[in-house]
Amino acid sequence: MKERLKDLEKGLIGELALVDNKKDLESFKVKALGRKSELQQIMKSIGSLGPEEKRETGILVNGLKSGLQKKIDDLESRLNEQEKQRSISAESVDVSLPGRHIRLGALHPVTIVLDRVRDIFRPLGYDVVTGPEIEHDFYNFEALNIPPEHPARDMQDTFYIHDSVVLRTHTSPIQIRTMLKAKPPVRILAPGRVYRSDYDISHTPMFHQVEGLFVDRGVRFSDLKGTLLYFARNMFGEETNIRLRPSYFPFTEPSAEVDVTCVMCRGKGCRLCKDTGWIEILGCGMVHPNVFGHVGYPDDITGFAFGMGIERIAMLKYRISDLRMFFENDVRFLEQFI
């Protein structure tokens, strides 16, 4: 019996040494340890042996079984590892292949500049508010001290929807809507689309403005000037200066137009600034008492307002020469701004 077991062990170990894949290993397991294996036959016959031989054979069979099982387990984990390595190398990336191009979207320059204006005014405590694009005559004109027949209505080529309903021509009506709802102090920034019947290299029928309004007791013209200088330096760079020229808007008194140091020549004089060294960026002034009258604010309230075109700021910041580019949606144009 001993001899038989020895031969069996030798034969099985020899066979196992030739196994080099998992399929063969499975058949080997069945053959070596399965129900019909020689080892099982031997185990079944142990019962008919004498007690001494039974014990010895039992020990041998168990030794053979566990030795074989260990060899099988070792081989199995080696084969598993090999299989893993094979699949890793099959899936590996060829770093010399050209990459797949992912097309990233980009923010529109109007969005970028609007975000920037918001960020500049946020630390000063300005809230962002919006208003309707279809606006009543009262908010767009009348409450802003532009009565019917007032020549200032000619300054803006209005799109009329009905006699008294227009596409808003500026963001200033948001001043009125806000003041009718809130008591001073009021500090708002009001961005939005505005509409005028105009189309050429520097005019489009729709464009964006942002309005600023600061109303409280004791607000002075010097506060306006300081605020605008702070804005201009944050938007166009620390070395920027501003100058205020007297102007006229019906809803402010006094009114001014604000220039910044030319973004192209930095004040030396060039084609962009027509050799003046200055570029106009916005209109502003102290809120007209008639406007406060329309919203029912008391006499001791003062305030300043300003309004600017977002595309205009973007054109200066990014040196864009044709306003119409903003609305043609050519991705080659739109991808360039960060």
Residues of this chain that interact with ligand DAH (CB under 6 A) are 170, 172, 211, 249, 252, 283-285, 305-307
Supply the minimum distance, in Å, between the C-beta of residue 256 and ligand DAH: 8
Q: Which is nearer to ligand DAH, 190 or 273 (CB)?
A: 190
The token duo for 304 is 């300043």
Q: Which is nearer to ligand DAH, 43 or 155 (CB)?
A: 155
Supply the minimum distance, in Å, between the C-beta of residue 202 and ligand DAH: 14
Q: Which is nearer to ligand DAH, 7 or 157 (CB)?
A: 157
Supply the minimum distance, in Å, between the C-beta of residue 300 and ligand DAH: 20
Triad 196, 278, 120: Cα angle to 5°: 70
* Spatial separation of the C-alpha atoms in residues 94 and 71, rounded to whole Å: 37
Shortest-Cβ-distance residue relative to ligand DAH = 307
Supply the minimum distance, in Å, between the C-beta of residue 282 and ligand DAH: 7
Supply the minimum distance, in Å, between the C-beta of residue 309 and ligand DAH: 8
Question: Shortest CA distance to 136 belongs to which of 329, 309, 294, 301?
Answer: 294
Supply the minimum distance, in Å, between the C-beta of residue 169 and ligand DAH: 7
Q: Which is nearer to ligand DAH, 76 or 253 (CB)?
A: 253
Q: Which is nearer to ligand DAH, 72 or 194 (CB)?
A: 194
Q: Which is nearer to ligand DAH, 39 or 190 (CB)?
A: 190
